[in-house]
């Protein structure tokens, strides 16, 4: 199949001052200093002790320059065992979408998704459904009301998840406000399935499983057989590390291009802001500053995290107990603090 370069309209490249400058936030020019290597042993040991004291943290992998310098299982499954990564699935799904564009299955992020979804539109559809693009879905800016949170149960109990998500009332115009919704992400899976004539599972195995050498087990599908887009994928911590490293290396794995050129940069360009955390959001990835560095992260319910800190050549994977918990128990915030206050300083100081 002929590969195409990722040159869709609206693609943004990195901007001076880091990606947060794209959100209108000022960033002073940073003085360039030679990067350190390795991790400071004392600071790493302190961070690992802190990590082990977190009762819901299962596993932690810290890699610098592609080398895993710390990998710990504090409790729960081993590092090679696939676990439910919850909404970190959304980051994986956007990678599959990028490969689909590269392969010509889809034309660009600006492509209308109506030709693939119109048979599931509600009666007397809102005209704005016709203007939805793939980019709107990937950036969570479809404008449709959320199927997450309090609406999640009714959505996954419905007989047709795609139809239900498309019938949600518009809360903003497409391309406007970020509205976090797993239903919007599931529409991406439906588009990929319809456009390719293959399952999202098969596409994911071909796009990421084979080239990265990772196992991609089956995961749940909706009543129509469309694999869940945006939740319940299962990957091992080692596989998540390979995925994070793929993004840290701009879509290359061991010298082989796996993601289209430019896809990582455009995925990490902020297009919206979380109303809950204030963090930016690109295509399936969240964006914040921590310890003076740009951090890009995949985030799954309960603390399934992949952090990439390009300025330090640092990739960190954390998996946690995914059992239903009170969202405000502070666990995820403690994971962010572990990165910002422990692991980033250990990388800054170096071995």
Residue 63 confidence (pLDDT) above 70: yes
Residue 157 confidence (pLDDT) above 70: yes
Task: Write out pLDDT tens, residues 240-273.
Answer: 999 999 999 999 999 999 999 999 999 999 999 9
Residue 132 confidence (pLDDT) above 80: yes
Interior CA angle at 285 toward 281 and 288, to 5°?
Answer: 60
Q: How confident is the model at residue 122 (pLDDT cuts 50, 70, 90)?
A: very high
The domain ranges of the chain are: 34-81+236-351, 87-219+227-232
Three-state SS at 286 = strand
In this prediction, residue 322 carries a pLDDT of 86
**Phi/psi class of residue 296: alpha, beta or left (left: φ > 0; alpha: ψ in -120 to 50)?**
beta
Residue 5 confidence (pLDDT) above 90: no
What value does the mean pLDDT take over residues 50-62? 97
In this prediction, residue 303 carries a pLDDT of 96
Q: How many residues make up the chain in this entry?
A: 351
Report the alpha-carbon distance of residue 93 to residue 89 in Å, rounded.
6
In this prediction, residue 29 carries a pLDDT of 41
In this prediction, residue 21 carries a pLDDT of 40
Percent of the chain with pLDDT over 70: 89
Report the alpha-carbon distance of residue 136 to residue 281 in Å, rounded.
12
Three-state SS at 330 = coil
Report the alpha-carbon distance of residue 92 to residue 74 in Å, rounded.
25
In this prediction, residue 323 carries a pLDDT of 84
Residue 23 confidence (pLDDT) above 90: no
In this prediction, residue 326 carries a pLDDT of 61
Report the alpha-carbon distance of residue 311 to residue 304 in Å, rounded.
22
Locate 290 and state its tokens: 């921590």
The answer to whether 107 and 248 are in contact (CB under 8 A) is no
DSSP secondary-structure letter at 171?
A: S
Taking all residues of the chain, what is their mean pLDDT, rounded to a whole number?
91
DSSP secondary-structure letter at 84?
A: E
What value does the mean pLDDT take over residues 228-234? 97
- Measure Cα distances from 51 to 86, 247, 328, 336, 351 in Å: 21, 25, 19, 11, 20
Task: Write out pLDDT tens, residues 286-311.
Answer: 999 999 999 999 999 999 999 999 99
Name the CATH architecture for the domain at 34-81+236-351.
3-Layer(aba) Sandwich (3.40)
Q: How confident is the model at residue 22 (pLDDT cuts 50, 70, 90)?
A: very low
- Backbone φ, ψ for residue 311 (5° rounding): -65, -20
Q: At what angle do helices 182-196 and 89-102 cross, to 10 degrees?
A: 30
Q: How confident is the model at residue 13 (pLDDT cuts 50, 70, 90)?
A: very low
Domains 34-81+236-351 and 87-219+227-232 share a fold: yes
Report the alpha-carbon distance of residue 327 to residue 58 in Å, rounded.
17
Q: What is the largest CA-CA distance in the chain?
A: 64
Percent of the chain with pLDDT over 90: 87
Which range (9-23, 83-97, 274-288) has the least confidence? Answer: 9-23
Three-state SS at 200 = helix
Locate 9 and state its tokens: 């309209």
In this prediction, residue 301 carries a pLDDT of 94
In this prediction, residue 252 carries a pLDDT of 98
pTM for this predicted structure: 0.91
* Record: fold of 87-219+227-232: Beta-lactamase (3.40.710)
């Amino acid at each position: 199949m002929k590969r195409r370069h990722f040159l869709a309209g609206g693609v943004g490249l990195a901007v001076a001052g880091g990606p947060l400058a794209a959100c209108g936030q000022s960033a002073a020019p940073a003085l360039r200093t030679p990067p350190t290597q390795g991790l400071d042993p004392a600071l790493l040991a302190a961070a690992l002790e802190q990590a082990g004291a977190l009762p819901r943290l299962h596993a932690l992998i810290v890699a610098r320059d592609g080398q895993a310098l710390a990998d710990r299982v504090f409790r729960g499954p081993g590092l090679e065992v696939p676990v439910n990564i919850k909404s970190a699935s959304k980051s994986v799904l956007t990678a599959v979408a990028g490969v689909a564009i590269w392969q010509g299955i889809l034309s660009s992020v600006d492509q209308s998704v109506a030709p693939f979804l119109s048979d599931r539109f509600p009666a007397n559809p809102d005209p704005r459904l016709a203007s939805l693009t793939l980019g709107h879905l990937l950036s969570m800016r479809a404008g449709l009301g959320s199927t997450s949170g309090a609406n999640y149960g009714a959505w996954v109990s419905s007989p047709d998840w795609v139809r239900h998500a498309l019938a949600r009332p518009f809360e903003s115009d497409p391309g406007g406000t970020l509205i976090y919704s797993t239903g919007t992400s599931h529409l991406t899976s439906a588009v990929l399935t319809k456009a390719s004539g293959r399952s999202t599972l098969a596409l994911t195995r071909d796009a990421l499983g084979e080239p990265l050498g990772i196992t991609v087990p089956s995961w749940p599908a909706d009543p129509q057989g469309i694999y869940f887009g945006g939740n319940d994928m299962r990957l091992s911590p080692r596989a998540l590390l390979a995925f994070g490293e793929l993004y840290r290396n701009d879509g290359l794995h061991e010298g082989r291009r796996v993601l289209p050129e430019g896809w990582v940069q455009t995925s990490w360009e902020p297009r919206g802001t979380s109303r809950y955390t204030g963090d930016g959001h690109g295509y399936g990835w969240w964006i914040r500053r921590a310890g003076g560095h740009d951090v890009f992260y995949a985030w799954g319910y309960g603390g399934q995290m992949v952090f990439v800190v390009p300025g330090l050549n640092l990739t960190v994977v954390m998996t946690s107990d995914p059992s239903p918990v009170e969202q405000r128990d502070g666990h995820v915030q403690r994971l962010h603090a572990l990165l910002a206050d422990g692991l980033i300083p250990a990388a800054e100081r170096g071995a």
